[in-house]
Amino acid sequence: MSLFDQPSSLSSRLAGLIQRLGWSGRAPRVILQRASHLELPFNAMPATRASICWLEGPPLQRLVELPRGALSGPVQEDKAQAHAVLTRVVEVQQQQLESFDLRQIDGLSNCDPEQAHFASFEEYALSEACRQVRIISYKDFVRAISLALPRFLAGERISLRQASWHGERIFWGGEQHSEALACAVAYARRRQLEINLPAELSRYRLSSSGLSELQQRYHVLAMPGAAWSDPAFMSLLLDTGLPYARLSLLRNPGAPEFLLLPKHSAEACALGEGLRLAGAPDVVLYLQGLAAHNAAASPCQDPTAPT
């Protein structure tokens, strides 16, 4: 039995899409059919893992203050419209905490690739990188934490981050002597030392209304690097003159680039539907999955509550 003889075949799905979307013109139908047959090396969006490294997860916080020049594409108006929608996907709230227990910190905002492999400060404290940090007594603890927080004894306010896609984990915003900070926090937890400092906490979360608007107005697809040199794909993207914008958000090598196709254009919508049929990951569904996963988890711990 051939592909086109099967009830759930690609040709049946194409016909159903065309009927559902009500395209009367020939161009969208042709674009949909050609796009659905593209053979590109699509890969699933990277899975998140438990890590002490803020940068290990998707850098969605960049969307809050996304530079206008971050998007590329041939038409300024198309990029500006996509930019306006993207900046509403993530919300940030600043919270001033007069007393924060440092034992709740279990992440680093500035970290190297080696640190990303560790799931907790306790695990990291046992690594080779932390071997030089020896904490046996309270005096050793103060010396170690003062390396990372030079004004620790003076009670200076510290900077913290939290993001819904990282769950309940709270990240320290400092840059220097991260191994000393991690070992000191792990020691305080082990010894049940309550160490409080004032803090500024930046809370990032995915906006349900922002995600709904993005889904309503755009196809957002994760395109592999090979797509931008593929003649068949580039012909569909450029020869038709359809509106689009591109965004490089993920930083890791070989990461896909996001293609935003506005659904108000029948041709752009057809390309988006066709790419999805060809296997392109749907970024909006990925983000909605992150939001749903974290909403189903236990509520974020109140940083002001006692440990």
Lowest mean pLDDT: which of 45-49, 88-92, 204-208?
Answer: 45-49
Centre a 10 Å sphere on the Cβ of residue 142 and count the other Cβ atoms it contains: 14
Q: Write the pLDDT tens digit of every residue in 264-274.
A: 999 999 999 99
pLDDT, mean of residues 37-53: 91
Dihedral sign, CA of 298, 114, 90, 251?
Answer: negative
Lowest mean pLDDT: which of 53-67, 145-159, 284-298?
Answer: 284-298
Of the candidates 227, 238, 228, which has an alpha carbon nearest to the alpha carbon of residue 268? 238
* Average per-residue pLDDT for the chain: 89
For position 147, what pLDDT does the model report?
Answer: 96
What are the start-end ranges of the E strands in 140-190? 158-163, 170-172
Residue 14 pLDDT > 70: no
Cα three-residue angle 133-135-141, rounded to 5 degrees: 105
How many separate helices (H) and strands (E) can be counted in the chain?
10, 9
Q: Write the pLDDT tens digit of every residue in 234-290.
A: 999 998 899 999 999 987 778 899 999 999 999 999 999 999 999 999 999 999 998
Neighbouring-strand partners of residue 72: 246
pLDDT, mean of residues 116-143: 95
pLDDT, mean of residues 3-12: 50
Whether the CB-CB separation of 87 and 209 falls below 8 Å is answered with: no
Domain ranges across the chain? 60-89+208-295, 91-206
Q: Structure pTM?
A: 0.84
Those residues with Cβ within 8 angstroms of residue 194's Cβ, 6 or more apart along the chain or in another chain: 101, 103, 188, 306, 307
What are the start-end ranges of the E strands in the chain? 71-72, 90-101, 105-108, 158-163, 170-172, 196-206, 218-223, 245-247, 257-262
Residue 83 pLDDT > 90: yes
